[in-house]
């Protein structure tokens, strides 16, 4: 089992103990304010050997912290797309952390990147991740092997919006090849300004998905 997955297990196991320590942080206020700003702006424009089943699930709907953070990550093929995401978030004063490649000439394996993002997303039900690789499919497939992660590959703003509203996705995946700044900004804007509608039947469906644990 890789070090990243050992860290993932350790961090997820500690989530329950952290529930009593919840408090609102500046990151929350910044993100909420930025979401409102993003919505207004939009309306005006009208690969490791670890076993996936060993990763425990996070109880859906449990309140962990009020604070939240967005975690970015890409390999060399997704660097351009994630750079566009970072630029957009800065323009909206949204706080984030980049855990992937941040300059040309460097690279990271997806099997190393994905657990890094998942560890942080699973610490807090309000945390989200945004990842990119060449096709966007690699990060989506890998992320969805981890119980508690619901990743979507969005190539337009409507898919990003629906993934949040109807499927409570917590990781956005983007195509890295031929990334366009305006398109990326539109997708991320839709992702940030929407929230899950809270449908109970769909929540039970997600619980069932998590219970599969990667096995049939």
pLDDT digits (tens, 9 = 90+) for 32-64: 444 444 544 433 333 333 333 333 333 333 333
Whether the pTM exceeds 0.85: the reply is no
Q: Which long-range contacts (CB under 8 A, 24 or more apart) does 179-185 make?
A: 179/78, 179/80, 179/81, 179/84, 179/132, 181/84, 181/87, 183/156, 184/81, 184/84, 184/85, 184/88, 185/84, 185/88
3-state secondary structure of 211: helix
Task: Please give the Cα distance from 85 to 181 (Å, whole number).
Answer: 8
CATH number for the 3-13+68-208 domain, one of 2.30.30.230, 3.40.1400.10, 3.40.50.720, 2.70.70.10? 3.40.1400.10
- What ranges do the domains of the chain cover? 3-13+68-208
pLDDT digits (tens, 9 = 90+) for 162-201: 999 999 999 999 999 999 999 999 999 999 999 999 888 9
């Amino acid at each position: 089992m890789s070090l990243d997955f050992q860290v993932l297990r350790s961090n997820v196991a500690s989530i329950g103990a952290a529930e009593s320590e919840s408090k609102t942080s500046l990151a929350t206020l910044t993100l909420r304010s930025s979401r409102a700003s993003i919505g207004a702006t939009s309306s005006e424009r009208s690969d490791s050997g670890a076993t996936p089943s060993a990763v425990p699930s996070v109880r859906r709907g449990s309140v962990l912290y009020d604070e939240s953070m967005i975690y970015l990550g890409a390999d060399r093929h997704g660097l351009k797309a994630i750079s566009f995401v970072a630029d957009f978030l800065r323009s909206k004063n949204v706080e984030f952390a980049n855990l992937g490649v941040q300059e040309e000439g460097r690279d990271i394996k997806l099997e190393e990147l994905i657990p890094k993002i998942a560890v942080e997303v699973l610490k807090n039900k309000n945390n989200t991740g945004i990842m990119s690789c060449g096709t966007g499919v690699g990060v989506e497939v890998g992320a969805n092997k981890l119980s508690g992660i619901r990743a979507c590959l969005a190539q337009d703003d409507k898919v990003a919006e629906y993934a949040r509203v109807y499927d409570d996705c917590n990781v956005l995946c983007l195509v890295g090849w031929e990334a366009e700044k305006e398109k990326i900004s539109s997708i991320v804007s839709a992702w940030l300004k929407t929230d899950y509608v809270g449908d109970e039947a769909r929540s039970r469906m997600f619980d069932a998905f998590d219970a599969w644990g990667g096995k049939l």
